[in-house]
């Protein structure tokens, strides 16, 4: 203790430490041990993390958690909330991380988990970077390692199929320019695609700007606007980029400010024309580059091919080609040398560049194999040409056609591969094109009448704008209907083919099609907040995420290229030594070459036939197409992990309310026990329940409204002394009468006798899968309400189909046993867990997992979130337009149970395609390498020329991508096609 106090005194005296402001633990340092406040500020800014802590029962527990956390180096502050079982920790990421903090909490006897969505979101940003030059998984691994090594980067994913990196980083520690610099240092070209996804951003082109001072003036004017978060200007492009909060401001405000700035008001602002920056533009440019390179390569290679393979059999031409230039050097050899040199060093420069960058970072990729193979052929040919030119008797064989044709075929293969890979991301392109280009903006007067209408660019829509949607037009923004009636086709967003009726108050989704009738809608979500933008982001993230099975390919590719180089050299050495020591007959050697040249051909063929690209593309291309197809069916799959887990599912746990049932309770029966007018009875009950947010309360109020059909929005009597008892019911005083509405336990708590007649009614109600509600007026049970949540149409058939797919179905619900059992009997579920709290649902899932099941949880994504997280696959049903459910792995947008089957069936199809891709990629190499090494040559005389080996290598990647593309023809199981699940209408 004395030592600790002495150390503390030293720290005080030296001025290199400070004490925590909290008095509980005076020995706890505010900054990391041995680091001063000044030094800490240089180490990087602080971060915040929120943990859920289970097991705390009192303030002493909270104190022990707080103490354990504060003992760690790098902790600035720790606050423990025992009531909500949470701990918030402020810390310095350069000294400690979330996992260390979590372990410290668990070391003192409590369970802790990081709450991802409640961490300081503003401290973490996401950027997407397009990377040019990726050829195989070795390249993507190199870039990933380079990004993850940067301080401030939380997570980095590089997708070979999309040639993009998604980086989660702390903007206080590192910026996107540094990230792009790290990629370029790794030897690849980096182009920023997007950043700061949590902010809306728009690019404006300004005409009339004459100098940089004008641009600065506009920048200052825009920055002064409330809601503007960042303004970037480019005087050369006359471009202003504004990042803003859509709740506060919008692009029309920016245009108005720009055009009203300056004394002459000569500025004119429009949305900056797109081009040159999008993913599609990068892809198109890459396709053009490969096509141009291939065409130029072909121009030089065809004469080389004809000279080597065709003209030598035509006597007249052969005689001209054999004309001697210098000593034994012929005109034909000279021409081939001249033509193949541009192919090798100018057109094939990309392979040299890729090889150099890979080797500089101590890795090897496909470019290394191509460079070694073509250089071996080219420089050996140069050696033979030079020797022929300096010798009057030397006759050698050149391989100029090998290097030239090899590069040409590889470029053709890359062109076809890029073309095919572009088609794998068509789903995102189609989604992004759903948004209409124009919209009709309405201006209303104070009475709500239309004053004027104006056609504007849809990107100029702001929150709370009134938009007119004419028949046949696309809905321009998420919002709700203010006026009009129509049917809207939402199939492009939800996959639901049947048009949905819309009237006043109904929500609409941007990008859907208005079929008939005119609608006036109020925009509620614009820009990056819209459902369409969220779907695009979700699908993009899904296509970035790697499936666990891809680790297999990553491990192989790590050793693949070095192993191929060793095999290639061994092949050449084995054939050369066998020839030198007469290990095979002289007759095996073709007349046009010697032993060395024969061995060299075998070695080069081995080097170029081995293809790590096909292996690297096997998983990501299938995941891209699978997730894209899922999105078109209304099933949003969050990446390869979810796909891989879903194909193993053999047990599904269903929540009841809103999942197996419609989720909208309705009053189906009323039984009065006292002489009372029904109208008056419901007036008292509705006046009490109207203050409650509970779904059952809303059902009662809606039913009461129907009894007063003469009034659209009836005014209920005033309810005084309103009290809501969570999980039991409500009570209030209405018209000087005490009204209590709730379950049996609430009545008993208030010493209200529940007569046998009322008890019998409750039992009968629950036996019919209905919820019984007791109503007490002035201390006496006056009536019993029966509320039912109807079973979803087709639920029974879905459970039956799942059973035929060898998937077990279980219901876990918080409802009572009788209601749950009755619902389960109706739809064919045998195992039921009722009256379960959210944490008990999660425990049940863990028990099933311990029993060997791969478990999927299907719930509403809110109160079922612990179970959704605990399950191998969490499926959120009933998402509607709110698709950003973090807890779920799969979001079922149509709220149809049939989509549970679609999700599992699609994942099985996708994973079988991944397996097929791996079988093809691995089988190709396992068969191709021995053939290229000359395994068939002794028995059949067949040998694989290097240029044919190169063509086969290029074809393997194209074949794998095309195999994945076949998933685009996915059809749901025939049983679902015949099911015809109908909608349900509640009157």
pLDDT tens for 429-439 read 677 777 788 89
pLDDT at 302: 93
53-97 pLDDT per residue, tens? 887 766 667 777 888 888 888 888 888 876 667 888 888 877 888
667-702 pLDDT per residue, tens? 988 999 888 888 889 999 999 988 887 778 888 988
Rounded to an integer, the average pLDDT of 902-913 is 92
Question: Which segment of 27-41, 164-178, 258-272, 488-502 scores lowest on mean pLDDT?
Answer: 27-41
Give the whole-angstrom CA distance, residue 140 versus residue 177: 19
The answer to whether residue 655 is catalytic is yes
How large a percentage of the chain has pLDDT more than 70?
87
**Close Cβ partners of 60 (under 8 Å, ≥ 6 residues apart):** none
Rounded to an integer, the average pLDDT of 972-985 is 58
Rounded to an integer, the average pLDDT of 511-533 is 84
446-467 pLDDT per residue, tens? 877 888 888 888 888 888 899 9
* Beta pairing class for 873-877 and 855-859: parallel
Rounded to an integer, the average pLDDT of 558-577 is 89
Mean pLDDT of the chain: 80
Side-chain half-sphere CA neighbours of 941 within 13 A: 6
Q: What structural domains and CATH numbers belong to the chain? A: 47-115 (3.30.70.100), 125-195 (3.30.70.100), 200-274 (3.30.70.100), 279-423 (no CATH), 447-525 (2.70.150.10), 530-634+901-986 (no CATH), 635-661+804-900 (3.40.50.1000), 666-788 (3.40.1110.10)
Rounded to an integer, the average pLDDT of 194-204 is 69
Query: Does residue 715 surpass a pLDDT of 50?
Result: yes
Long-range CB pairs of 228-234, under 8 A, 24+ apart, other chains included:
228/254, 229/199, 230/196, 230/199
Q: How far is the CA of 460 from the CAs of 195, 273, 457, 523, in angstroms?
A: 20, 14, 6, 12
DSSP state of 611: -
Query: Does residue 269 surpass a pLDDT of 80?
Result: yes
pLDDT at 118: 41
Query: Does residue 28 surpass a pLDDT of 60?
Result: no
- Please state the pTM of the whole predicted model: 0.66
Q: Which of 734, 746, 725, 726 is nearest to 704 (CA)?
A: 734
pLDDT at 802: 92
Confidence of residue 309 (pLDDT cuts 50, 70, 90): confident
- Which listed residue (655, 872, 889, 899) is catalytic? 655
How large a percentage of the chain has pLDDT more than 90?
15
pLDDT at 123: 64
pLDDT at 9: 38
Query: Does residue 835 surpass a pLDDT of 50?
Result: yes
Question: Which segment of 27-31, 672-676, 877-881, 963-967 scores lowest on mean pLDDT?
Answer: 27-31
Contact by Cβ (8 Å): 602, 949? no
């Amino acid at each position: 203790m004395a030592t600790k106090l002495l150390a503390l005194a030293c720290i005080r005296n030296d001025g290199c430490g400070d004490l925590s402001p909290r008095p509980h633990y005076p020995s706890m340092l505010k900054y990391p041990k041995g680091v001063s406040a000044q030094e800490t500020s240089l180490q990087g800014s602080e971060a915040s993390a929120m943990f859920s802590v289970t097991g705390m029962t009192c303030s002493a527990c909270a104190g022990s958690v707080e103490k354990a956390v504060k003992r760690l180096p790098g902790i600035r502050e720790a606050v423990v909330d025992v009531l909500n079982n949470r701990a918030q920790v402020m810390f310095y990421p350069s000294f400690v991380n979330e996992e260390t903090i979590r372990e410290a909490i668990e070391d003192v006897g409590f369970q802790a988990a990081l709450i991802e969505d409640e961490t300081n979101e503003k401290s973490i940003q996401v950027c997407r970077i397009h990377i040019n030059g990726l050829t195989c998984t070795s390249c993507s691994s190199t870039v990933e390692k380079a990004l993850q090594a940067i301080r401030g980067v939380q997570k980095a994913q590089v997708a070979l199929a999309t040639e993009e990196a998604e980086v989660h980083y702390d903007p206080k520690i590192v910026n996107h320019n540094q990230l792009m610099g790290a990629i370029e240092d790794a030897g690849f070209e980096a182009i920023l695609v997007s950043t700061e996804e949590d902010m809306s951003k728009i690019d404006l082109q300004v005409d009339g700007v004459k100098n940089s001072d004008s641009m600065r003036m506009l920048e200052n004017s825009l920055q002064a606007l409330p809601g503007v978060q960042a303004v970037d200007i480019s005087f050369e492009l006359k471009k202003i980029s504004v990042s803003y909060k859509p709740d506060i401001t919008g692009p029309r405000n920016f245009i108005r400010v720009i055009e009203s700035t300056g004394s002459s008001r000569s500025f004119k602002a429009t949305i900056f024309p797109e081009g040159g920056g999008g993913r599609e533009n990068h892809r198109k440019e890459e396709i053009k580059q490969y096509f141009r390179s291939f065409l130029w390569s072909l121009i030089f290679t065809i004469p080389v091919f004809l000279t080597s393979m065709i003209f030598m059999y035509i006597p007249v031409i052969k005689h001209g080609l054999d004309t001697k230039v210098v000593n034994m050097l012929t005109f034909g050899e000279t021409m081939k040398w001249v033509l193949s040199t541009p192919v090798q060093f100018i057109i094939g420069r990309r392979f040299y560049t890729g090889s150099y960058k890979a080797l500089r970072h101590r890795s090897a990729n496909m470019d290394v194999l191509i460079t070694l193979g073509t250089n071996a052929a080219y420089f050996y040919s140069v050696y033979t040409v030079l020797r022929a030119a300096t010798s009057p008797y030397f006759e050698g064989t050149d391989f100029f056609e090998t290097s030239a044709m090899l590069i040409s075929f590889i470029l053709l293969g890359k062109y076809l591969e890029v073309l095919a890979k572009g088609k794998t991301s068509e789903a995102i392109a189609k989604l992004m094109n759903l948004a209409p280009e124009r919209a009709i903006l309405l201006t209303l007067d104070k009475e709500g009448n239309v004053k004027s209408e104006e056609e504007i660019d849809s990107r100029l829509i702001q929150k709370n704008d009134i938009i007119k949607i004419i028949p046949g037009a696309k809905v321009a923004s998420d919002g709700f209907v203010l006026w009009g009636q129509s049917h809207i086709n939402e199939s492009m967003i939800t996959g639901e083919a049947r048009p949905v009726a819309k009237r006043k108050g109904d929500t609409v989704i941007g990008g859907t099609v208005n079929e008939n009738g005119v609608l006036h809608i109020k925009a509620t979500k614009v820009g990056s907040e819209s459902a369409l933008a969220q779907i695009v982001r979700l699908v993009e993230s899904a296509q970035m995420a790697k499936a666990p099975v891809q680790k297999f390919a990553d491990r192989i590719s790590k050793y693949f290229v070095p192993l191929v180089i060793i095999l290639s050299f061994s092949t050449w050495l084995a054939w050369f030594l066998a020839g030198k020591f007469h290990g095979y007959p002289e007759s095996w050697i073709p007349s046009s070459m010697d032993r060395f040249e024969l061995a060299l051909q075998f070695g080069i063929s081995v080097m170029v036939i081995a293809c790590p690209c096909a292996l690297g593309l096997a998983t990501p291309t299938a995941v891209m197409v699978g997730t894209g197809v899922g999105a078109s069916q209304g099933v949003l799959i969050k990446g390869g992990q979810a796909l891989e887990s879903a194909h193993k599912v053999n047990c599904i746990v269903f929540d009841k309310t809103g999942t197996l049932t419609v989720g909208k309770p309705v009053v189906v029966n009323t039984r009065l026990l006292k002489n009372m007018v029904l109208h008056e009875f419901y007036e008292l009950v509705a006046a009490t329940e109207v203050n409650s947010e509970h779904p059952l309360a809303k059902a009662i109020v809606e039913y009461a409204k129907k009894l007063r059909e003469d009034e659209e929005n009836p005014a209920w009597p005033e309810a005084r002394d309103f009290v809501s008892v969570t999980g039991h019911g409500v009570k209030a005083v209405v018209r000087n009468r005490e009204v209590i509405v709730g379950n049996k336990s609430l009545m008993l708590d208030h010493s209200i006798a529940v007569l046998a007649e009322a008890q019998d009614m409750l039992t009968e109600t629950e036996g019919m899968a209905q919820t019984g509600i007791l109503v007490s007026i002035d201390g006496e049970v006056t009536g019993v309400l029966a509320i039912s949540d109807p079973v979803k149409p087709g639920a029974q058939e879905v459970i039956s189909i799942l059973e035929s797919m060898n998937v077990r179905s279980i219901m876990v619900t918080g409802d009572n046993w009788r209601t749950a059992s009755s619902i389960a009997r109706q739809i064919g579920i045998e195992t039921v867990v009722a009256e379960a709290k959210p944490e008990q649902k999660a425990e049940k899932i863990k028990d099933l997992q311990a029993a060997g099941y791969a478990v999927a949880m299907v719930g509403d994504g809110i109160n079922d979130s612990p179970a959704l997280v605990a399950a191998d696959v969490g499926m959120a049903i009933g998402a509607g337009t709110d698709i950003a459910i973090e807890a779920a792995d799969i979001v079922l947008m149509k709220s149809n149970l049939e989509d549970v089957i679609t999700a599992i069936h699609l994942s099985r199809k996708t994973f079988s395609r991944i397996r097929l891709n791996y079988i093809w990629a691995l089988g190709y190499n396992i068969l191709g390498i021995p053939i290229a090494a000359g395994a068939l040559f002794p028995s059949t005389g067949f040998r694989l020329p290097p240029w044919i080996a190169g063509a086969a290598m290029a074809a393997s990647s194209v074949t794998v991508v095309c195999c994945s593309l076949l998933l685009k023809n996915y059809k749901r199981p025939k049983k679902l096609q015949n099911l015809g699940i109908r909608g349900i209408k509640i009157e």
